[in-house]
Amino acid sequence: MRIVAGAYGGRRLKTAPGKRTRPTAERVREALFSILGPVDDMAVADLYAGSGALGIEALSRGADRATFVEHDARTADIVRFNLAALDAVDEAEVVVWDVLLWLQSVAGSAAFDLVLIDPPYSSAPRLGEPLSQLLPRVLAPNATIVTESDKRAPLELDLVLWDERVYGDTRIAIHRVF
pLDDT interval class at 13 (50, 70, 90) = very high
Q: What is the pLDDT of residues 98-146, one digit of tens each?
A: 999 999 999 999 999 999 999 999 999 999 999 999 999 999 999 999 9
Report the 10 Å Cβ neighbour count for 14. Answer: 14
C-alpha 31/C-alpha 146 separation (Å) is 12
Cα atoms found within 13 Å of the Cα of residue 171, Cβ hemisphere only: 19
How far is the C-alpha of 134 from the C-alpha of 162, rounded, in Å?
19
Query: In 3D, which of 122, 170, 123, 168 has the Cα closest to residue 146?
Result: 170
> Distance between CA atoms of 49 and 46, rounded to whole angstroms?
5
Task: Let me know: does 169 contact 152? Beta carbons within 8 Å.
Answer: yes
What tens digit of pLDDT does each residue of 47-68 get?
Answer: 999 999 999 999 999 999 999 9
CA distance 5 to 60: 7
> How many degrees, rounded to 5, is the angle at CA 46 between CA 147 and CA 109?
110
